[in-house]
Amino acid sequence: MVMHENITTAFELPGVRVARNLGVVRGIVVRSRSIFGTIGAGLQTIVGGNISLFTNLCEKTREDAFELMVKHASELGANAIVGARYDATEIMNGVTEVLAYGTAVIVEPLAK
């Protein structure tokens, strides 16, 4: 099982070595804005500043994609993910794909 402390954007983790590379893992979420969220966010733009409705939607979508990536890695028997990244693509107006991806690995403690 992959623990969150064993996930990094780097390609190595301190105190361990990569014993086995299990390949690319990913989590994909496709989300659309609701009409109510769009109207609420539109009202927030009048005031200016952070548009919290969209911020919360983006954060939740990234979190869901991240958890799917972790699940995929765990299913492969990984105990860590290195090189973790996010990507997003607008599929159509108001519909966005968020992809979390990285390399699933098995790590072992370094010999002392």
3-state secondary structure the chain: CCCHHHECCCCCCCCEEEEEEEEEEEEEEEEECCHHHHHHHHHHHHHCCCCHHHHHHHHHHHHHHHHHHHHHHHHCCCCEEEEEEEEEEEEECCEEEEEEEEEEEEEEECCC
Domain count, the chain: 1
pTM summary value: 0.84
pLDDT at 5: 92
C-alpha to C-alpha distances, 105 to 6, 9, 50, 61, 80, nearest whole angstrom:
10, 13, 37, 24, 5
pLDDT at 49: 60
Its domain, for residue 66, covers 4-109
pLDDT tens by residue, the chain, 112 residues: 888 999 999 999 999 999 999 999 999 999 876 555 555 555 556 666 666 666 788 899 999 999 999 999 999 999 999 999 999 998 888 788 999 999 999 999 998 7
pLDDT at 20: 97
pLDDT at 33: 64
**CATH for 64:** 3.30.110.70
pLDDT at 51: 61
pLDDT at 53: 67
pLDDT at 108: 96
